[in-house]
A and B are shown apart, each in its own frame.
Chain A
Amino acid sequence: MSRINIEITLGALLVLFTSIFIVIYGFKEPQRMQEFELHQEAQAIEVGADLFNNNCVGCHGTQGEGVPGLAPALNDRYFFDQRIKDLGWSSSLEDYIVATVSSGRVVSTRPEYVGGGAPAMPAWSEQYGGPLRVDQVRSIAAFIMNWEPTAPDRGAATPMAGPPVGTDITVELPEGNPTNGEALATSQGCTGCHVLTDTGPAWAASANELGIGDRAAQRFTQADYTGSATTPEQYLLESIVAPGEYIVPGFETVLMPATYGQSLTAQDAADIIAYMLTIK
């Protein structure tokens, strides 16, 4: 055989093998594409978990259990079974999540949470001026949707033990219990915003700040004070139920919801204030 014959034969064989390889590869394609999609979904959930951890836990809780008075539970049967029916949302729950996370909420649909006319959920998508890209919003939705199979029934919010304390700070408060106040302060989601650091929550004393008890005793006597409190107790009550009356310089951009006058009883408020005053 001449070199030409050999090359033609070998070349033909190589072309044949290459074609067979391509056909064999093709048989595995549907499975490969399916697996790739599965990996993509898993990755979206992982990325979403990370984003949720960095952006959402402050108001919705580390496990999506919600923070009373601040933001509703997401890891909740009601959210998966009933929420979009109650709203009359015609598309899927996942799209509802994407829409809500993207554009936020101008007015809360559930007044027991943040709202009462104030913006509730901020917009997160960069299309609406938020910090996240569209794909990141979708990842968060994928993560939240992954709670669906296991979401517990958290029931309705527990009814309040008495009438709300209201926004009048001159009201006579009952005797407060500091221990009970501490439990309330750490369970009502206060630490979601009043961040818990290594040295304790934001109301504890730190290197450059007094404890909240001493702060309260000083603030209402300062010249720039704009509220109407005349005692430390009143100052603290005002800060909780009417936070807009006086804003400590430097905190103008982070607004505390003005709804606690409706969601706390007089006893609750008294307990929290008693606890706060013990922190010097």
Chain B
Amino acid sequence: MDFYTISSWFLYATFFIYLIAIAFFGMTLGNKRSENNKSKSTKLAISFTIIGFLSQLTSYIFRWLEAGHIPVSNLFEYIYFFGMMLILSFIVIHFVYGISTLGLIALPVAIVIIGYGSVFPTEVQPLVPSLQSNWLYIHVTTVGLAQAILSISFIAGLLYLIVKVNQEKRSKETTFLELIIYGVLATIGFITITTSFGLADYEATFVKTTEDGYEQEANYELPALFAPHNSELQSEGAFESGIEAPGWMQGVDAGMKLNTLTWSLLVGLLLYGIIRLLLRKRIGATLQDKFGKINPDVVDDIMYRAIAIGFPLFTLGGLIFAAIWAQQAWGRFWGWDPKEVWALVTWLFYAVFLHLRLTRGWHGKKSAWLAVIGFSLIMFNLIVINLVIAGLHSYA
């Protein structure tokens, strides 16, 4: 057996172990807070989390051995690392604060994130010359860790909101909360649908003729709700809705991305609808009933502490180390490319968070909403900038 196969098996195992951990965390619901830390289910839950983490770490190390470089050089590897750091941060937070309901948010979020990453090409890739630098590893690993720690503030914030938003009547807050949950469901939708059609080897090829007469191919791995603009279906028997992506979506893959996005949103909607029908009330309201009480000061403290640690680390990794690497590779430490700009945007956003908190007293719910926005910026950077912006344009 080669290292790559071993690595894959450990990754599958990791998923299952995390699922078991979630089940045990679920069993802690309804306990009194004081009993929870000592309860058997909490102990089992955190033990399985740690075993899962070790399994993931093992998988990661085997991948490293196979590739000969730290696996942080493509989207799959980065997301994988990020998810692993998220679990690590959660484990640390658990031993400091011991809030077991946090696990019920942290673990599912981490699983969805790692699952999302696995949709991208997972084979070991060689490093192009610009990536052959130790500063790159230092930069990417620090950013991964920093973003994971910043995400802990989102997880704490989400817990805060689930417990604290008034669910008695509909409001903007309840709607936004449902939107966040829907976002998670749509991501699950994305993972499910791409994996299932992937297993079925579905493929439909479209040929698009560009204005200057070149022919470009787009390979759809999902049935086409939206064909590329100005294109023709090549594969026989493949599904075609007859709708084309709008004309301003020029890139050959733009239609495909729109298609995938639409599929994910639709499946997410379906999932949400089914759950809503079964529960007969807002998902947020159900979660609130189940999660019971928390100590708001403690959760607020986690939210802040995560940013207090994540912000300097992000500054170091996302701006300073990134600049050192760029200086070494290209002789310019800053070049305003979209990834750099988004690192700056994220950094400025968390600076705003700290200012509002320190000088204007934004605590509790306000902080929690900010933590949610911060996380969506990180995800936007990870997903949209990497896939859409960098893909629509020619600088990947």
Do chains A and B stick together as partners? no
